[in-house]
Amino acid sequence: MSDTKLYPVPAEFAQNSLLNDSAYQAMYKHSINDPEAFWREQGQIVDWIKPYSQVKNTSFQPGSIDIKWFQDGKLNVSANCLDRHLKDNANKTAIIWEGDNPADSEKLTYQDVYEKVCQFSNALKAQGIKKGDVVCLYMPMIPEAAIAMLACTRIGAVHTIVFAGFSAGALAERINNCGAKLVITADEGVRAGRIIRLKDCVDKALAKPQVTSVNNVIVFARTKADIAWHEGRDLWWHDVVKDQPSECEPEAMNAEDPLFILYTSGSTGKPKGVLHTTGGYLVYATMTFKYVFDHQDSDVFWCTADVGWITGHSYLVYGPLANAATTVLFEGVPNYPDTARMSQVIDKHQVTTLYTAPTAIRALMAKGDDAIAGTKRTSLRLMGSVGEPINPEAWRWYYNTIGNSSTPIVDTWWQTETGGILITPLPGATALKPGSATRPFFGISPALVDNEGNLLEGENEGNLVILDSWPGQMRGIYGDESRFEEAYFSTFPNMYCTGDGAKRDADGYYWITGRVDDVLNVSGHRMGTAEIESALVSHSKIAEAAVVGVPHDIKGQGIYAYVTLNAGEKADDALEAEVKQWVRNEIGAIATPDTLHWTQALPKTRSGKIMRRILRKIATNDTDSLGDTSTLADPSVVDTLIAEKQNA
C-alpha cells in the first residue's frame, strides 16, 4: 500500500455517470441488507420469457452447498443479446472486428449479427445438435467466434471454448472431459503476423484414441489455406449456413440450465470445468458491464481478452451485447505490427472504453512513448485492468500515458468462477488508489480470514473469502460434483474461498496480493503448478519436477521449474530446449518454463512432500530466512540447490 495518493472522480465524469458515490453507498447497502429484494428488481435487467417468482436459493453450508438463482424463470441469452435490440438498435454496430493486419476491419450491425446467429443456429440443429449437447469452440478472434457462442445459447447447446493457444493434448483432454459432440474451428488463425494451424491441431486432438464423442467439425475458412479433410466428419462453415433461414426461434431455457463450461486451472494436475448457468450469469454479466464500465449508448468498448478466457465471455461478448453496446473484437496483439498498435486501434475506432491486462500495459510501458507514437487517444473516457494485480508504476503509466492523465481506471478483481467482476471501483463513484481494486460490487460481501478461518476486522491482511452467493457464481465443476465443495468451500466452512490473498486498508479498500495456493498467474493466464509438473515428468528423461512462480517484470509471474533427470541422463542446452518445447507441445506456449533448474534432488519432508516454500525462496534468492528446515529428510539438499542457483 505504498501509493496512497487518491485520484478523485473527475468532476465531469461524476456529473454524467450512471452512479455517484452516495448512489453506490445506498445501493450497496440495500444489496447486502436485502439481497432477495435487490436481485428481484435487478433481475429485470434482462428479458424473461417466463418471469421468475423465486430469486435467491443458495447455501454455503458444508454438506449442502446449493446455488440457484431465479430458478423458475425462463429466458434465452442470444435473444437478450440480439433480438431485444432490433427494435431500436438494428442498425447500430454490434461488433467491430479489427484484423491482425491493420488493413483488415469490418463492422457488423445488430441486424447482421442476429441474422448470422440465426443461420448458424439452424446449421447446428441440422447437424443434430440439441439443447443440452456440448459444443467445443477452438477459434481465432474473428466475429464467427461470437456468432458460434450466441448460436449455441440460442438453441440451448452448452459451449466450451478452449483457448486456441492450447495444444492438441490439452484440447483432447477438455473435449473428452465434457463429451463434446461437435468442434467449431477455423482452418488457421493469424496473430502477430504468424499463422496458427488450428484445424491441424483439432485433427491431432481427435485422432487420440480416448476422444470418441465428436461427430463433426465445422471449419471456418479464415485464411483459405490447404488443410487435411476428413470426409463425413468435417464441414465448411460457409456450406452449412448457405441455405439456412435467417430466423430461428430462441429456445426457452430454464434459469439454471447450463450455459457454458470453461476450463481453468486449480491446484491439482487436472483442469476444472467451471460450469455457469443461464439466468444468474447473464443478469450478473449484464449488470456489472453496465455499472463498472458506466455504459453509455455512444460508447465503443474494447476488451482485449481472448474469447477463450472468462473475460472474453463476460466482457467481450455477453455483457456488452446484452447492453446493446458496440464491442471491438481484435484478432491481433497490442504491439504488432508496431509498438503503437493498441493506441492506433483506439484512434481508428474511436474507442471510449479500454479493458486490458497489466501484462500488456507493462510490455508497452517498457517501450515508453513509442507505445503512443503518432496517436491521440482522446476518445477514451474510461480504462480497465484485469487478470492480475497491477503494480502502481504500471497503473500510473497507463493513467498518464495511454489515458492522457485524465481517464479513470477501474481495476477489476474477479475469477473464472465468479462469472463477473466482484471487487472494483465504479468510475463515477470511487476515488482511485493505484494498485487497489477498491470496493465490492453490489451484492458482494468480501471478508478476510486468517489461516484458521477467523474473520479479521478493519485494516488487515489475510485470505480473501466471499460470505454469500451472487448470481454470477459458478454452479459446479462439470462432471465432478464432489470436487466443487472441496475446492471452494472446505478450506473455510460457510465461505467461498477465492484462493487469493488481500489487504484491506483504513478506507475499507481491498488490495489483492495474488494467489495463496499452487496456482500461477503468468501474463494474466492462470496455470496450476501441478499441470506443468505433470507435463514435465511425462518426458522420458525426467524423473521428478517441482514448479514455482517467480516475479517477472512483464509477465507478472514467470515459471521456474526444478527438474531431476533419470539416472544416466545428462543436462545440457539441447535437452533444455527439448524440454521447453515438450511442455509447449503438452500444454501450450503459455506454460513454457522460463527457467529450468537441473538438480539431483528436491527438498522433501520425511513423508515425501516437496517443500515448495523453500523452493520459492531459493528461486528468488531469498535464502536468508528459509524458515524451519528441520522436517526435511535430507537438509543438505537445500545447500546444494542454493549453490546451484548461485552458479547458474
Interactions with ligand PRX, residue window 91-120 (CB under 6 A)? none
413 is in an annotated binding site: yes
Q: Which of 411, 518, 531, 586 binds ligand PRX (CB under 6 A)?
A: 411
Q: Which of 499, 528, 558, 603 binds ligand PRX (CB under 6 A)?
A: 499
The minimum distance between CB 556 and ligand PRX, in angstroms, equals 9
Is 552 in a helix, a strand, or coil? strand
Contact (CB, 8 A) for 313 and 146: no
By beta-carbon proximity to ligand PRX, the closer residue of 118 and 307 is 307
501 near ligand PRX (CB under 6 A) = no
Interactions with ligand PRX, residue window 431-490 (CB under 6 A)? 437
Stretch that binds ligand PRX, among 195-203, 278-286, 366-374, 383-391 (CB under 6 A): 383-391
Stretch that binds ligand PRX, among 209-217, 368-376, 509-517, 640-648 (CB under 6 A): 509-517
Beta bridge partners of 120: none
- String of DSSP letters for 227-242: ----TTTEEEHHHHHT
Q: Which of 144, 187, 299, 388 binds ligand PRX (CB under 6 A)?
A: 388
The minimum distance between CB 487 and ligand PRX, in angstroms, equals 13
Q: Which of 323, 352, 416, 491 binds ligand PRX (CB under 6 A)?
A: 416
The minimum distance between CB 446 and ligand PRX, in angstroms, equals 13
Stretch that binds ligand PRX, among 72-80, 191-199, 507-515, 541-549 (CB under 6 A): 507-515
504 near ligand PRX (CB under 6 A) = no
The minimum distance between CB 557 and ligand PRX, in angstroms, equals 10
Contact (CB, 8 A) for 385 and 356: yes
Residues 584-623: x where in contact with ligand PRX by CB under 6 A, - otherwise, as a string: ----------------------------------------
Dihedral angle over CA of 257, 213, 271, 550, nearest 10 = -130
526 near ligand PRX (CB under 6 A) = yes
- String of DSSP letters for 199-252: HHHHHHHHTSTT-----EEEEE-SS-------TTTEEEHHHHHTT--S--PPP-
The minimum distance between CB 418 and ligand PRX, in angstroms, equals 8
Give the integer Cα–Cα distance in Å for 262 and 320. Answer: 19
Residue number with the smallest Cβ distance to ligand PRX: 416
Interactions with ligand PRX, residue window 242-301 (CB under 6 A)? 264
415 is in an annotated binding site: yes
Of residues 338, 377, 308, the one with CA closest to residue 101: 338
Give 44's DSSP letter: G
Q: Residue 491: CB partners within 8 Å, gap ≥ 6?
A: 453, 463, 497
515 near ligand PRX (CB under 6 A) = yes
Stretch that binds ligand PRX, among 191-199, 496-504, 529-537, 613-621 (CB under 6 A): 496-504
Phi and psi, residue 635, nearest 5°: -60, -20
Q: Where is 281: in which H helix or E strand? A: helix 278-292
Q: Where is 189: in which H helix or E strand? A: strand 189-191
Interactions with ligand PRX, residue window 307-366 (CB under 6 A)? 310-311
Strand ranges for 345-468 from DSSP E: 353-356, 382-386, 409-412, 446-449, 455-456, 460-466
The minimum distance between CB 617 and ligand PRX, in angstroms, equals 21
Pairing of strands 74-75, 253-254: antiparallel
Give the integer Cα–Cα distance in Å for 121 and 489. Answer: 38
C-alpha distances in Å from residue 155, one per residue of 80, 134, 148, 163, 202: 13, 11, 11, 23, 24
Q: Which of 331, 500, 518, 531 binds ligand PRX (CB under 6 A)?
A: 500
# residues contacting ligand PRX (CB under 6 A): 23
Q: Kindly report whether the peptide bond that precedes residue 358 is cis, defined as omega within 30 degrees of 0.
A: no
247 is in an annotated binding site: no
Is 256 in a helix, a strand, or coil? coil
Stretch that binds ligand PRX, among 208-216, 410-418, 575-583, 619-627 (CB under 6 A): 410-418
The minimum distance between CB 612 and ligand PRX, in angstroms, equals 17
Q: Which three cell numbers stand for residue 74?
A: 425462463
529 near ligand PRX (CB under 6 A) = no
282: left (phi over 0), alpha (psi -120 to 50) or beta: alpha
For the annotated binding site for Mg(2+), the residues are 537, 539, 542
* Annotation: binding site: 191-194, 311, 335, 387-389, 411-416, 500, 515, 523, 526, 537, 539, 542, 584
**Binding site as annotated, residues for ATP:** 387-389, 411-416, 500, 515, 526
Q: Which residues bind ligand PRX (CB under 6 A)?
A: 264, 310-311, 385-389, 411-416, 437, 498-500, 512, 514-515, 521, 526
